[in-house]
Chains A and B, each alone.
Chain A
């Protein structure tokens, strides 16, 4: 029982990060039909920039803030200088651009930072809390709380603000959005910026637990993508549920089967979803009135 609780908790923690990555995918996909495979690099940039700022003597909270701003800038630049000039190209071509951007960012990180693993001090110390026989890291609670706050803020933004509605409108019908005077390019800019910021925050939160290095983005992007697929691509609720499920399944299979299969689980789930239910758990079934 204590063992199960332990697995569930580590599953939820890493699942929350997958959920944030999946939310990043969802935001950009809804605004532009692009799957942004550089999403994992946003997570890496958040963690790595904070680490190196802290090493340079910048106080940790300020270092984290700078990392979020830098990553947001990178997200905006990715849209402005790589995606936007290719406007009108097919979705597949645009997705390949994001894969290119992901390789590029990893390369730059290797040069600007280094190739070693780095960590950050946890926010509330490293002494684990005993709960029902399981040992819980305080940083796990920080990750879960951070993810919850982000999800609530996003939900409020979409429900309560006109800009949020404009994002939904752009996702639902881009032509109509342009015809009512929404500058849809700005909306896509905005989604790239927010996705990058969310990625950076995820990277900063998880680094004290899982460490970070220049190439952590690849696997995180794939797991986040699996989460988005499982939840139904385009559904924010699906992204959150999918992320938590993938984290949980991963932790349980690592615990009860073998930890060497841990990373295979996400790929297995992608395959099963694609074959058995391509629309995912909360995916939209397109119904249109004519």
Chain B
């Protein structure tokens, strides 16, 4: 469904992605693990079109998309939940959700809203609260709900577990699995490798801008180097 071929990207003259190749098939949860500064967020931004690439190709649903502007990629089916949630603090939860459907704003929003509220019942009770006043966990649910409002085919999740309490991380993993079972394809970036590998079908390890290891999640989890570097075993 998504295939990234030899993608390079730079900030000014400093190249941070040195030719990344990976693919995500329909209905999969694929996780990308790696340390701080490995280039995970840069890659996510490149897929969404908010970070330019200097070389390589990005294909989605059979079409080259690397030259399309960010808003067209959302309309084409790629939504991202950015690192650090990035909700619109001054706007209410409801407005955040409505804006999530910006790319399909002419359609009836009610079914999508109902679906998000069913997925995150905790949001239903606080629809009028400004997003900036929510707790970290609530903001994360809102950020995911907002991304779902665009009816994506591929959901990019950047560090969704960051800063969440362990029981919230469990809830989050359950939600991600439920979304996959609901036929959504997911690319999950995580520093919390243990949590990510527990729900992923396949995994890639990104180190300083290069994919150094890839394979089925169980295999990656068993890899000696991964266990030492990312799982602390």
User: Is B80 among interface residues, defined by CB-CB distance under 8 A?
Assistant: yes
Structural contact, A180 and B99, CB atoms closer than 8 A = yes
Within the assembled complex, what's the spacing in Å between the Cα atoms of A165 and B100?
11
Give the size range of B's interface with the partner. 20 to 34
Structural contact, A178 and B88, CB atoms closer than 8 A = no
Structural contact, B50 and A180, CB atoms closer than 8 A = no
Q: Mark A133-177, 1 if CB is under 8 A from B, else 0.
A: 000000000000000000000000000001001101100110111
Min CB distance B87 to A, Å, is 7
Known contacts A180-B103, A181-B75, A182-B102: A169-B88 contact under CB 8 Å: yes
Structural contact, B50 and A181, CB atoms closer than 8 A = no
Structural contact, B71 and A182, CB atoms closer than 8 A = yes
User: Closest chain A residue to B44 by CB distance?
Assistant: A179
User: Is A116 among interface residues, defined by CB-CB distance under 8 A?
Assistant: no
Within the assembled complex, what's the spacing in Å between the Cα atoms of A177 and B95?
13
Known contacts A181-B70, A289-B132: A176-B105 contact under CB 8 Å: no
User: Is B139 among interface residues, defined by CB-CB distance under 8 A?
Assistant: yes
Min CB distance B96 to A, Å, is 8
Known contacts A162-B102, A175-B50: A168-B91 contact under CB 8 Å: yes
The residues in A between 232 and 290 inclusive whose CB is less than 8 angstroms from any CB of B are: 287-290
| Residues on the B chain within 8 Å of A290, using CB | 84, 136, 163
Instruction: Give 8 nearest A-B pairs by CB, closest first.
Output: A181-B74, A181-B103, A176-B86, A183-B71, A169-B88, A181-B71, A178-B70, A172-B88
| Residues on the A chain within 8 Å of B48, using CB | 178-179
| Residues on the B chain within 8 Å of A166, using CB | 99, 102
Min CB distance A233 to B, Å, is 16
User: Is B82 among interface residues, defined by CB-CB distance under 8 A?
Assistant: yes
Within the assembled complex, what's the spacing in Å between the Cα atoms of A165 and B131?
13
Q: Mark B63-76, 1 if CB is under 8 A from A, else 0.
A: 00000011100110
| Residues on the A chain within 8 Å of B202, using CB | none
Interface size on A, residues (CB 8 A): 20
Min CB distance B41 to A, Å, is 11
Structural contact, A172 and B91, CB atoms closer than 8 A = yes
Within the assembled complex, what's the spacing in Å between the Cα atoms of A172 and B91?
9
The residues in B between 79 and 125 inclusive whose CB is less than 8 angstroms from any CB of A are: 79-80, 82, 84, 86-91, 95, 98-100, 102-103, 105
Structural contact, A179 and B74, CB atoms closer than 8 A = yes
The residues in A between 170 and 201 inclusive whose CB is less than 8 angstroms from any CB of B are: 172-173, 175-183
User: Is B147 among interface residues, defined by CB-CB distance under 8 A?
Assistant: yes
User: Is B20 among interface residues, defined by CB-CB distance under 8 A?
Assistant: no
Within the assembled complex, what's the spacing in Å between the Cα atoms of A288 and B132?
8
User: Closest chain B residue to A164 by CB distance?
Assistant: B95
User: Is B210 among interface residues, defined by CB-CB distance under 8 A?
Assistant: no
User: Closest chain B residue to A172 by CB distance?
Assistant: B88
Structural contact, A289 and B105, CB atoms closer than 8 A = no
Structural contact, A183 and B105, CB atoms closer than 8 A = no
